[in-house]
Amino acid sequence: MTITKTQRDILGSSALRPDGISKVQGDFAFSSDLHAENMLWGATLRSPHPYARIVSIDVSGAWKIAGVECVITAEDVPGQLTYGLISEDQPVFARDVVRYMGEPVAAVAADHPETCRRALAAIQVVYEVLTPLTNPEHAIDASHEPIHPDGNIIRRQRIMHGDPTATAPIVVEGTYDIGMQDQAFLGTESALAIPDHDGAGVEVFVATQWLHEDRKQMAKCLGMPEEKVRLVLGGVGGAFGAREDISLQVHTALLAMRTSRPVKMQYGREESFFGHVHRHPAQIWMRHHANTDGRIVKIEARFVFDGGAYSSTSSAVLINGVTHTQGPYQCPNAVVDGYAVRTNNPPCGAMRGFGVVQACFAHEGQMDKLAAATGIDEVEIRLRNIIHTGDTMITGQVLESVAPLERCIRETAAMPLPAEMGSHPHELDLPGGSGRTADRRNIVRGIGWGVSMKNLMYSEGFDDYSTARCTLTNGSVELKFATSEVGQGFVTLAPQIARSVLGVDNVTYDTIDTQIGSAGSTSASRQTWMSGGAVDGACRMVRERLFEHVGAVHNIDPLRLAIDDTDIIDTVGTLRISVQEASANFSVSETYEYHHRKTEDLDENGQGNCHVAFAFVAHRAVVDVDVELGLVKVVQIATAQDVGRVLNPMSVTGQIEGGIAQGLGLAVMEEIIVTNGIVRNPSFTDYLLPTALDAPQVVISMIEVPDPQAPMGAKGVGEAPCISVTPAIVAAIRNATGKSIDRCPVRPQDICF
């Protein structure tokens, strides 16, 4: 079969993925599919202890195994011994001390993965086990010695806004716990490093979110100039934040440099749980003061994010958390204190929703408590408090983004509820599914709400930019960018932009690598805005050159020319010439760097214009609960999301449905269970992800109010779907059961006892 399309794949169309055919056929090369002649396999030895002093490491046993070509430890790191996204506090290999279970201690390269496993088993590490710091409060109260030279507090941030003494007649408070979620992308970490023949450089094919940042950190640790480390994006099997930090990059490159042979490393699922950072578990206390009409007067809050052993992006996650204390609601007065702390638990960092997921779980729990205390309905209480463009937030920043929040809530509320459960439901539609635990009479239905606001792009003064090049030759366009395609569909969008701006149809893109300027990370809902802005900018520059060319040929002022479908027209004359024809024997290439507007750091009172822009969303969840057994089936999620402008309806739908499934996971099943620093469930047998039978019906409305600040009017859509869906589901469970549940994921025992 072949796919035939009649419509042009411009902005606004559901253009198909250019990599779709290779992906359905199994031809698409994920980084784990790569091979090189004479290749070795690499593997990592990891600490079994959450906190221990390394007394000695004896690698001689590994060297004796036939097929082993290289064994490396911290002693072999040629450059900087530590790395990190914000502060460089994480060792490439632990040297004196291990600070979390799974911390890398050594790595080997050998002819077969099984040889690697045997080699790792032959390395003798003597540990002196220390008492781990696992309770984040002990990091704050200094009752445990510092576990790292940088101390146990990664960052503290207060927010003081308005009148701290303000109060109001209605006061509700709660303490909310959010479990440690894993990104659980399907394609585990993998890389292939190929050393240059002259031994001076290395080329690394890797699945990552940010090629240039990886390169920067790698070059430092490898002790090599950045231009000698060339990164190429290996096919990425999902990311969701887990590829923001580097994992096996330095190890693989170092093994390749040492052996002068290509080395491939790939984590198995268990290792992947130790190989990347997770979503921060958090405990959040909030107290809302409101008038009897439900209007919020003041919010007090305290946040504790457990950052685990190394800082990763914890300080930025903390800022996102505390600055979203108010959620999408007006709040004139606020007193907030927040900590991101270091413990001997697994390191935590970026995951879709980045700090806002945690804040939202708390503020939405509070809104429901406020509704109950004032007797105002859950939807109405939210509507009464919503924030508008022009309002001042608790950071003192004025909300400049378009904020169609009322439409989000009202359109969600207007969506039809699912049909009542019949008297003889299919067993798979009941909570418990094929386990046949429930009968119809055991089931209660509940409805819950969640509304959220999420910052887009990087904050706090970071000069965030993306680069793209557009080359027009003979009516065809080739784009070049370093934007990581992790599944989100930038490779679909970028050609759509070029087609729209330039009136061409044939658009291709070059290899995604470090042979052009940085695109920044595929995170923070930023690539449509940032790299989209860069591609749009580059294409517009090319269009100017083309118009100049056509103007010169036809003796027309280029300013009079415009693109109409696939033609160039004279807006005040009669000329109409196809772009194809106009660009015959014409070639032009332009590079554009898109920067978003500047932001500032927060001051010690948490005041400052720290965020770029915001997106809004509402979720309504309908759940069926078997109250006696504590089992839940999410029946329906209705959502209306502020997307600015829909550039590709099918892609946006995919982001919304996918984000909802992840938020559902956090609501009812996904949690890395850590006791005393030991991870108890590092496998897909025990870390449960939603299956097809857990997927609810999803009803979507995309609210289109183009944002004038956004390059194409479009806001990033990646994170919003997974934020307020979690509190909405938990609220629905509370509604069904009448129990007060202030943690997620909700476990059966949280419901039935």
Partner 1 sequence: MPIFIPSSLTEATQLLSKNPDAHLLTGGTDMMVEVNFNHRHPDTVIALRNIPEFQRWNIDTASGLVHIGSSVPYATMEHGDLAKALPALAEAARTVGSPQIRAAGSIGGNLGTCSPAGDSLPVLAALDAVVHLQSESSRRSVSFAEFMVGPKRNSRLPNEIITGVSIPITNGWQGYAKVGVRNAMVISVASVCLAIHDNKVRVALGSLGPTIIRCTESENWINSIGLANIDHSLAKEFADHVRAESRPIDDHRSTAEYRRHAVGVLAARLLLRGVQK
Partner 2 sequence: MSELEHYSLTVNGVERQVSDAWIGESLLYVLRERLGLPGSKGACEQGECGSCTVFVDNAAVCSCLVMAATAVGTQIATVEGLNDDGSLTDVQEAFITEGAVQCGFCTPGLVMAVHHLLDHNDSPNEQEIKEALSGNICRCTGYGRIFAAVDTVISVRKGVSS
The entry of partner 1, partner 2, ligand FES, none near residue 350 (CB within 5 to 8 angstroms by kind) is none
Task: Assess 660 for contact with partner 2 (CB under 8 A).
Answer: yes
Q: How far is the CB of 433 from partner 2 (least distance, A)?
A: 8
Nearer to partner 2, 237 or 328 (CB): 237
Which CA distances in Å does 53 have to 128, 461, 637, 701? 5, 38, 49, 55
Q: In this structure, which amino acid lies at residue 325?
A: T
Nearby residues of 24 by Cβ (< 8 Å), 6 or more positions away: none
Answer for which of 78, 680, 697, 740 binds partner 1 (CB under 8 A) is 680
Using CB under 8 A as the binding rule, the residues of this chain from 369 to 428 that contact partner 1 are 428
Q: Which of 21, 126, 186, 200 binds ligand FES (CB under 6 A)?
A: 186
CB of 237 to ligand FES, least distance (A): 6
Q: For partner 1, which is the closer residue by CB, 585 or 749?
A: 749
Interface residues for partner 1 in 97-126 (CB under 8 A)?
117
Quick one: 19 exposed, middle or buried, by C-beta within 10 A (0-12, 13-18, 19+)? middle
Given a contact cutoff of 8 angstroms between Cβ atoms, the answer to whether 528 and 596 are in contact is no
Q: Is 144 helix (H, G, I), strand (E, B) or coil?
A: coil
Phi/psi at 639 (5° precision): -150, 140
Task: Name the residue nearer to partner 2 (CB basis): 552 or 693.
Answer: 693
Rounded-to-integer distance, Cα 607 and Cα 153, Å: 21
CA neighbours closer than 13 Å in the CB half-sphere of residue 680: 9
Contact 205, 192 (CB under 8 A): yes
Q: Is 301 helix (H, G, I), strand (E, B) or coil?
A: strand
Give the ranges where 16-96 is alpha helix by DSSP (H).
20-25, 60-63
d(CA 411, CA 414): 5
The β-bridge relationship of strands 104-110 and 40-46 is: antiparallel
Window 265 to 324, contacts with partner 1 (CB under 8 A): 268, 270
Give the residue with the Cβ less far from partner 1, 48 or 174.
48
Cβ proximity to partner 1, 372 vs 688, nearer residue: 688
The site string for ligand FES over 480-509 (x = CB under 6 A, - otherwise) reads -------x----------------------
Residues 6+ apart with CB under 8 A from 222: 78, 79, 202, 229, 250, 253, 254, 257
For ligand FES, the closer CB: 269 or 554:
269
Q: 290 near 306, Cβ under 8 Å?
A: no
438 near partner 1, rule: CB under 8 A: yes
**Toward ligand FES, which CB reaches closer, 309 or 652?**
652
| Residue 421 interacts with partner 2 (CB under 8 A): yes or no | no
Binding residue (CB under 8 A) for partner 1 from 262, 537, 606, 630: 630
Smallest gap from residue 9 Cβ to partner 2 (A): 13
In the bound complex, what is the minimum distance in angstroms from residue 692's beta carbon to partner 1?
8
Query: For residue 490, what are the CA distances in angstroms to 213, 321, 617?
Result: 19, 27, 22
Rounded distance between C-alpha atoms, residue 690 and residue 668, angstroms: 9
Cβ closer to partner 1: 290 or 430? 430
φ/ψ of 580, rounded to 5, equals: -50, -50
State the minimum distance, in angstroms, from the CB of residue 78 to ligand FES. 36
Cβ distance to ligand FES smaller for residue 273 or 616: 273
Q: Work out which of 345, 488, 500, 701 binds partner 2, going by CB under 8 A.
A: 488
Helix axes 378-385 and 405-414, enclosed angle (nearest 10): 160
Burial class (CB in 10 A: 0-12, 13-18, 19+), 3: exposed
Pick the binder of partner 2 from 12, 268, 432, 558 (CB under 8 A). Answer: 268
Q: Pattern of binders to partner 2 over 109-148, x per CB under 8 A? A: ---xxxx--x------------------------------
CB of 694 to partner 1, least distance (A): 5
Segment interacting with partner 2 (CB under 8 A) among 185-193, 195-203, 370-378, 615-623? 185-193
> Of 243 and 543, which has the nearer Cβ to ligand FES?
243
- Judged by CB under 8 A, the chain residues 217 through 256 that form the site for partner 2 are 235-240
Helix or strand run (H / E) with residue 616 = strand 613-626
Residue 113 in the binding site for ligand FES (CB under 6 A): no
36 sits near partner 2 (criterion: CB under 8 A): no
Q: Using the rule CB under 8 A, is 20 a contact of partner 2?
A: yes
Does residue 650 touch partner 2 according to CB under 8 A?
Answer: yes
Nearest approach, Cβ of 677 to partner 2 (angstroms)?
24
Residue 188 touches which member of ligand FES, partner 1, partner 2, none, C-beta under 5-8 Å by kind: partner 2
Instruction: Pinpoint the alpha helices (H) of 386-513.
Output: 405-414, 490-502
Rule CB under 8 A: say whether 684 interacts with partner 2: yes
Positive or negative CA dihedral for 65, 69, 75, 77? Answer: negative
Tokens 């290509």 sit at which residue?
A: 262
Count Cβ neighbours within 10 Å for each residue of 702-723 and write b for 16 or more, e otherwise: bbebebebbbbbbbbbbbbbbb
Three-state DSSP state, 206: strand
Segment near partner 2 (CB under 8 A); pick from 171-179, 247-255, 560-568, 680-688 = 680-688
Partner from ligand FES, partner 1, partner 2, none binding residue 126, C-beta < 5-8 Å depending on class: none
Q: DSSP for 373-401? A: HHT--HHHHHHHHB--TT-B-TTS-B--S
Smallest separation (angstroms) from partner 2 to the CB of 110:
10
Burial of 404 (0-12, 13-18, 19+ CB in 10 A): buried
The secondary element (H helix, E strand) that includes residue 660 is helix 649-668
Q: Give the span between the Cα atoms of 258 and 76, in whole angstroms.
A: 9
By the rule CB under 8 A, 694 interacts with partner 1: yes
Among 126, 166, 553, 673, binds partner 1 (CB under 8 A): 673
Cα angle: 403, vertex 407, 412; to 5 degrees: 125
**Residue 698 contacts which entry, partner 1, partner 2, ligand FES, none (Cβ below 5-8 A, type-dependent):** partner 2
Please choose, out of 95-103, 259-267, 343-351, 665-673, the segment that lies near partner 1 by the rule CB under 8 A.
Answer: 665-673
Would you tell me which residues interact with partner 2 (CB under 8 A)?
A: 1-3, 14, 16-17, 19-21, 23-30, 32-33, 67, 112-115, 118, 183-188, 235-240, 268-269, 426, 428-429, 434, 486-489, 650-651, 653-654, 657-662, 683-685, 689-693, 695, 698
Would you tell me which residues interact with ligand FES (CB under 6 A)?
A: 186, 238, 487
Would you tell me which residues interact with partner 1 (CB under 8 A)?
A: 117, 268, 270, 428, 431-439, 442, 628-631, 633, 668-669, 673, 680-681, 685-686, 688, 690-694, 747-749, 752-753
